[in-house]
Structure 1
């Protein structure tokens, strides 16, 4: 009986030694296939409305990250000065989405130093409104919901061309978001096209495209540039215009102090309403839709 037991023990020892030696062998490391390795495509946007459009077009696209180079509270890029963090964010991106129409002209020198950066011009093909005198084209094209739809289409087409691997998803996202925008556009026209009053006074030059879409007449602009207080003579002229035109509504913007508008309202009896050009707000993808819906309700009250 002793011999079989010894034989069994020897067999077990050999098996254990074999397993141990196998575990100790040097394993050849697996080299990941570069073609399948995960890659991150960083898309930078110049300011808030471009970010909202881009996150809708690039929604759930694998390996794609959308970042905004300016703070969401920046507003329009009038006289904006790039900060070191802005430049760092831009330098790490492969694609840069801009509004165009002259809004980001101050970035031209920086962008020229990044030859590999691909530029997506959201305003491509959109007819621009000329500024007064020596002013350039008005860049606030996104404030018109029809122009916003065209910008989203432009972004979708250009991203699909630059990142063909995900073209189908960019196209699907573009279609889905455009459908939402178009549904709201129809509702806005249904509610605003029959408004009793058409003459409005706005805070600064953000609303010409919006006014053109809804057949509104901008009688006067309180501040041509945000933050530039009108002179006493300009205030007097605006007050006189309101009295002569019997305008009952002034439209200030939530991004800027409405001191001048409130002064005019006291002198004329007009009411100050808030009309949002969608240059700041929530970073949620539906933010532009909510802003335009709120503008529609404000105008319904003010113009009727």
Structure 2
């Protein structure tokens, strides 16, 4: 595969209209002759991916400060200026950081090398009628999956190694160690579900962020409440979704952690369906171990939900 430094996936929307093994120390890498490389990221999971890949050989730079909602973020001059000091940027590139294309184009480095993290990931269609109507052709939440995260880590390590060949071997070794820890999280969750009878379990989600994670554990989403991420359903849409969930005998609804909304309580009150919350891994401080910590919590939540609904 080519080096993936083009912008093909940055513009996909327009064209369509680490805690469990913290003691593991990254392989020591050779510092670049001109100093450490600076690799930018846009989202919290990608900070964790890249930080675990590069270790102390490079600096990982979030281009938007912690505390901003990436779904509602609008580029600021100081954030665009930050891009001028990067050697490359690692993107989700399939709809979760569409703002990055505008930032790069307006920066001092409009030809900044871009690593397309999802180039090797099998993508799911966008969830929600409004999302598809707006030209969103794929679900951008690929990072909410252990298997897809491992694929992205491999792609990122390979491409950063091409940009920084002196450290390519270290990046590859670190990526393997990190991916091994992620796979251990998934294996531990699957082991807990070995006797759960989940073949007939039907689930719904508040929005389409969790399709990748649920499919990884053999679950298909029967209904999605929001017509698009962040857009509350109208009363008529909500009534229709509740009727659908009753008809399909949905037993579990997955919402987003710290997602206060009156309609979520309406669903629980009207249906009596069990409600559980996942982390979207898009809030708080950037940290190398954030993805592992939050995914471990998500997997614990998933195991609990499946065990209680299908003992």
**With structure 2 as the length reference, what TM-score do the two structures score?**
0.78
Q: Give the aligned partner of residue 85 of structure 2.
A: 92
Match of 1:48 among 34, 40, 44: 44
Q: Does 1:111 align with 2:104?
A: yes
After TM superposition, the structure 1 = structure 2 runs for residues 94-243 of structure 1, keeping only pairs within 5 Å, are 94-113=87-106, 114-131=109-126, 133-134=132-133, 135-192=136-193, 194-197=195-198, 198-243=201-246
The runs of at least 4 aligned residues of structure 1 exceeding 6 Å deviation read none
RMSD, aligned α-carbons: 2.3
The corresponding residue for 2:299 is 296
For 1:187 and 1:252, how far apart are their aligned partners in 2?
A: 23
Q: Which moved more, 1:264-273 or 1:103-112?
A: 103-112
Give how far 1:159 is off: 0.8
Unaligned residue ranges in structure 2 (runs of 5+)? 1-30
Q: Distance in 1 between matches of 2:190 and 2:283?
A: 24
* 3-state secondary structure, aligned to 1:219: strand
Indicate whether 1:39 and 2:39 are aligned.
no
> C-alpha separation between the residues in 2 aligned to 1:212 and 1:141?
11
**Gapped runs of 5+ residues in structure 1?**
1-34
> 1:97·1:122 contact (CA, 8 Å) conserved in 2?
yes
Which secondary structure does the structure 1 equivalent of 2:176 belong to?
helix
Note if 1:74 corresponds to 2:68.
yes
DSSP 3-state at the match of 2:260: coil
Bigger relative contact order, structure 1 or 2, given CA contacts below 8 A and separation 6+? 2
**What secondary structure sits across from 2:96 in the alignment?**
coil
86-95 or 147-156, larger mean C-alpha shift: 86-95
Distance 1:206 1:265 in 2: 20
CA distance in 2, matches of 1:120, 1:176: 21
1:36 to 1:101, Cα distance in 2 relative to 1, 3 A = closer
Q: What does 1:246-285 align with in structure 2 at a 5 Å threshold?
A: 246-285=249-288
Instruction: Specify whether residues 193 and 230 from structure 1 end up closer, same or farther in structure 2 by C-alpha distance, changes over 3 A only.
Output: farther
